[in-house]
């Protein structure tokens, strides 16, 4: 059974449709990234899935429990942990007091609560500063406390809403590593992000949202679907007819030459690149560079978003 099942989920605020007929699923243990511009409905989607706001229509289940059902809402909130875009810690309290408060709200028994607070603060390298007021912490440290807060009741599913926004590169890297560790611990992660590089690095699958869900797939498949074939560029010191004949013999899907670059479109570049390199070398060519012209997630994302305008 999938951790998240969403079917035609819609949210309207008066006349405005914030989220329109979303249908997707997130498997257990998967990191799913939701990408989209500001106002695309990412936070609204998370809020609906966390039972913070109601849906207008459609269905969504978290761990088999329905988000529209009042009785299921409390069960769902126990299954999930939320790291919102605003960290939202109590600045007067210490990291320990913040986590202890949430541990109580999540109904963790005292012994377990103490154990988990120590475990997570230790993991986040904050144990030594546990009694220090959170107001004295850096943004990165606060984000670590916010993540610990979401984990205090050992949830199966974690929602992260822009977790690295406003963090410096070092702190962002730490947050990404924590998310990847959560995956190895068997947790399911739902990630809202603007950061395409981050999404490409850590997400198993990605959804592109702009009120409607425009595409869902793995980053690689998304690129293939959007751009078609990926080009391989082989830079050769001097191109001659013998080299071109050797290349043509291997039947590439497409072949073109620009200056001293042989540009190929191959059915399966991962397997075929080596054959083409060998053929060129055998024909006396001296290879200077082999590059795969990969449009990347950023270009893919922008193309998808632009095409919906």
Partner 1 sequence: MRLSKAWIVASKDFKTFTKRKSILYTIIYFELIVSVGIPFIVRFAETKAARAGVLPNLLDAFSFLYVIGAGLAPLGIAAYSLVGEKIQKSLEPLLATPTTDEEILAGKSIAAFLPAMAATYIGALIFVALIDLFTHSTLNYYYFPNSNFAIILFLLAPLACILSVGYNILVSSRVNDVRTAQQLGALILVPFGALYLLSEIQVLHLTTGNMLIVAAVLAVVDVIVFYLVKATFRREDILTKWK
Q: What is the DSSP letter of 230?
A: P
Instruction: By CB under 8 A, tell whether 86 contacts partner 1.
Output: yes
- Residue 205's contacts (CB-CB under 8 Å, 6 or more residues apart) are 26, 30, 31, 32, 33, 216, 217, 218
Start-to-end C-alpha separation, the chain: 36
Instruction: By CB under 8 A, tell whether 187 contacts partner 1.
Output: no
Q: What is the DSSP letter of 129?
A: G
In the complex, what is the shortest distance from the CB of residue 90 to partner 1, in angstroms, rounded to a whole number?
Answer: 6
- The H helix count followed by the E strand count for the chain is 11, 14
By CB under 8 A, the residues from 36 to 55 that bind partner 1 are: 47, 50, 52-54
Burial 37-48 (b: 16+ CB within 10 A, else e): eeebbbbbbbbb
Q: Between residues 42 and 205, which has the closer beta carbon with respect to partner 1? A: 42
Rounded Cα distance, 10 and 177, in Å: 33
Among 88, 168, 229, 242, binds partner 1 (CB under 8 A): 88
Among 7, 104, 139, 249, binds partner 1 (CB under 8 A): 104
The beta strands (E) that lie in 117-203 are given as 157-161, 188-193
Rounded Cα distance, 183 and 167, in Å: 22
Q: Between residues 112 and 256, which has the closer beta carbon with respect to partner 1? A: 112
Among 8, 64, 105, 218, binds partner 1 (CB under 8 A): 105
Instruction: By CB under 8 A, tell whether 95 contacts partner 1.
Output: no
Instruction: By CB under 8 A, tell whether 173 contacts partner 1.
Output: no
Among 40, 146, 239, 304, binds partner 1 (CB under 8 A): 146
Instruction: By CB under 8 A, tell whether 89 contacts partner 1.
Output: yes
Instruction: By CB under 8 A, tell whether 64 contacts partner 1.
Output: no
Q: How many CB atoms lie within 10 A of CB 16?
A: 9
Instruction: By CB under 8 A, tell whether 298 contacts partner 1.
Output: no
Instruction: By CB under 8 A, tell whether 60 contacts partner 1.
Output: no
Instruction: By CB under 8 A, tell whether 119 contacts partner 1.
Output: no
Q: What is the DSSP letter of 127?
A: G
Among 74, 257, 267, 293, binds partner 1 (CB under 8 A): 74
Among 33, 84, 140, 252, binds partner 1 (CB under 8 A): 84
Among 15, 16, 107, 237, binds partner 1 (CB under 8 A): 107
- Binding part of the chain for partner 1, among 108-116, 120-128, 145-153, 233-241 by CB under 8 A, reads 145-153
Instruction: By CB under 8 A, tell whether 77 contacts partner 1.
Output: yes
Rounded Cα distance, 120 and 251, in Å: 56
| Cβ burial, residue 102 (10 Å; 0-12/13-18/19+) | buried
Residues paired with residue 81 on neighbouring β-strands, in sequence order: 158
Closest alpha carbon to 79 in 6, 157, 146:
157
In the complex, what is the shortest distance from the CB of residue 104 to partner 1, in angstroms, rounded to a whole number?
Answer: 5
Instruction: By CB under 8 A, tell whether 57 contacts partner 1.
Output: no
> What is the gyration radius of the CA atoms in the chain, in angstroms?
24
Instruction: By CB under 8 A, tell whether 156 contacts partner 1.
Output: no
Name the site residues for partner 1 (rule: CB under 8 A): 13, 47, 50, 52-54, 74-75, 77-78, 80, 82, 84, 86-93, 97, 101-102, 104-107, 133, 146, 149-150
């Amino acid at each position: 059974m999938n951790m998240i099942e969403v079917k035609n989920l819609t949210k309207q605020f008066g006349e405005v449709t914030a989220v329109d007929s979303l249908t997707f699923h997130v498997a257990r243990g998967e990191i799913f990234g939701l990408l989209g511009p500001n106002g695309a409905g990412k936070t609204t989607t998370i809020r609906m899935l966390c039972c913070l706001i109601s849906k207008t229509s459609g269905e969504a289940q978290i761990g088999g429990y329905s988000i529209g059902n009042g009785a299921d809402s409390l069960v769902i909130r126990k299954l999930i942990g939320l790291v919102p875009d605003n960290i939202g810690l109590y600045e007067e309290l210490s990291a320990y007091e913040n986590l202890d408060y949430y541990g109580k709200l999540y109904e963790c028994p005292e012994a377990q609560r103490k154990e988990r607070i120590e475990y997570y603060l230790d993991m986040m390298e904050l144990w030594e500063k546990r009694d220090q007021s959170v107001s004295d912490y850096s943004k990165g440290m606060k984000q670590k406390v916010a993540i610990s807060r979401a984990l205090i009741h050992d949830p199966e599913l974690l929602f992260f809403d822009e977790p690295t926004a406003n963090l410096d590169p070092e702190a962002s890297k730490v947050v990404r590593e924590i998310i990847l560790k959560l995956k190895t611990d068997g947790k399911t992660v739902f990630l809202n992000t603007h950061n395409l590089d981050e999404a490409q690095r850590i997400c198993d699958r990605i959804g592109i949202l702009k009120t409607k869900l425009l595409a869902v797939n793995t980053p690689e498949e998304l690129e293939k679907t959007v751009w078609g074939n990926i080009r391989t560029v082989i830079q050769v010191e001097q191109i001659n007819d013998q080299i071109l004949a050797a290349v043509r013999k291997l039947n590439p899907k497409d072949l073109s030459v620009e200056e001293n670059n042989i540009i190929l479109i191959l059915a399966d570049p991962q397997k075929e690149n080596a054959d083409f390199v060998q053929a060129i070398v055998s024909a006396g060519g001296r290879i200077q560079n082999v590059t795969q012209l990969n449009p990347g997630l950023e270009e893919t994302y922008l193309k998808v978003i632009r095409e919906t305008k």
